[in-house]
Amino acid sequence: MNKKEFRAVETIKATDDEKMIVEGYALRFNTLSNDLGGFVETISPQALRDADLSDVRCLIDHDASKVLGRTTSETLELKIDDEGLYFRNQLPNTSYARDLYENIRLGNINQCSFGFILDEDGDKFEKREDGLFKRTLTKIRSLFDVSVVTYPAYNDTDVAPALRSIEAIKETEQEEIRKREAEQRKQKEVLKLRLDLLKLK
């Protein structure tokens, strides 16, 4: 079962034209996402406490053939602060990186996405009054990429692990409803029998 998830939430900027440096927050804590298809999401400040950030790549649109930086080569720097995960990336001197930097500088491309794997029991759900579920990421096992993205779209694959959890919660809720209804029917039948017995006396 694929446990990889991708989220696109943050804005990036070009900060050094000579060295082609881009930076910004890859993710922010305690910020509520838009509706991701039946749920909204936020990230706890504790979520990255034990996360593996030892070998993270910066890519274009999560495309492994378009590498922009890597933590192990020190071209990608990651820093966790009170707001979230900040990244700073010096782009390589390649044609696709130069084209990308120009688009970022002009504001044509300005969003970032991150790919992650949650730890077991690394999230929790609560149902809001509006019917949407709120998912809180509490423990990220590893972050494997931050990506500069043209379209920060969410598809079924991106949110599949969360949707599976929500379906499991809904099934549990339905099972509890069925049990309550069965118990209520049983109690009614017992009351009816007692009434019938009283009528016979």
Q: Which residue has the higher pLDDT, 85 or 11?
A: 85
Say what the pLDDT of residue 156 is.
44
Q: Which residue has the higher pLDDT, 200 or 100?
A: 100
Question: Identity (one letter) of the amino acid at 110?
Answer: N
- What b/e readout covers 58-79, taking b as 16+ CB neighbours within 10 angstroms? bbbebeeebbbbbbeeebbebe
Please give the average per-residue pLDDT across 85-100, as a whole number: 95
- Residue-wise pLDDT for 145-197, tens only, equals 998 888 764 444 344 444 455 565 566 666 777 777 778 888 887 777 777 67
Task: Please report, rounded to a whole number, the percentage of residues in the chain having pLDDT higher than 70.
Answer: 82
- Residue-wise pLDDT for 22-61, tens only, equals 998 888 898 887 777 777 888 999 999 999 999 999 999 8
Say what the pLDDT of residue 50 is.
92
Say what the pLDDT of residue 9 is.
60
Q: Which residue has the higher pLDDT, 113 or 48?
A: 48
Question: What is the residue-averaged pLDDT of the chain?
Answer: 83
Tell me the C-alpha distance between 173 and 1, whole Å.
24
